[in-house]
Structure 1
Amino acid sequence: MVRNLSPALAEDEDEFPEPPRLKLLRRLVMGLTVTLGLGMILIAGTVAWRLWSAAPPALPIRAESLALPAGAEITALGASPSEILAAVRLPDGAEALLTFRRADGALLSQTPIRRQ
């Protein structure tokens, strides 16, 4: 069997044109593939940057400068840039969350903790 390989007689894409909707779909899929690839690279880069970058030094919590109620015992400490939070057990057995100003140690609020 003899085959004619000349471009004029070979079946090619010009003989069967791609429908416009299929062409649009193919381009959309390619665009989404590129977007997905770039997004994955961006996420991997962000994770790597966060893992290997130096964390800012934490501000120390100075519990000795806080004015606690008489007989209160600190059970937990937490802090934000402007406040210090202390969970305390009061002499009567009740628990409270005390909020202090970091700058001068002044008591800002006292919130009772009720456990059920």
Structure 2
Amino acid sequence: MKDIRISDMLNMQKALYEVHKDTWPPLEAQYGRNSILWMMEEVGECIAIIKKKGDSAIMEDENVRKAFCEEMSDVLMYFNDTLLRYGITADEISSSYIDKHEKNMGRNYVKEYEHKYEDR
């Protein structure tokens, strides 16, 4: 089974950028928002597969699953572009992810969301 680390993804994204650096915007913070917007477009393509093909097809149809995984990979690529543009390291995002996970493990989502929508 293949497994990839965040640092590997960042390095792969840097290598891809190097191939296209003459035509792509620099890996600078001022272009970070564009990466997020492109990432959201790719999320939309994932949603389109879900809407058009359905959950079962993603789970059972090899071609649909492959297309869905490809779009999810695009999401990750733009996510990594965003990290690179804001200079966020693999260690920083890993640490933040672990911290957030630990925080979420202690949360009571039912209680939080009951109060969130009371004022509406």
Common topology (TM > 0.5): no
Going by fraction, where is strand more abundant, 1 or 2?
A: 1
Structure showing greater radius of gyration is: 1
TM-score interval for Structure 1 and Structure 2 normalised by the shorter chain: under 0.3
Going by fraction, where is helix more abundant, 1 or 2?
A: 2
Q: TM-score, normalised by structure 2?
A: 0.23
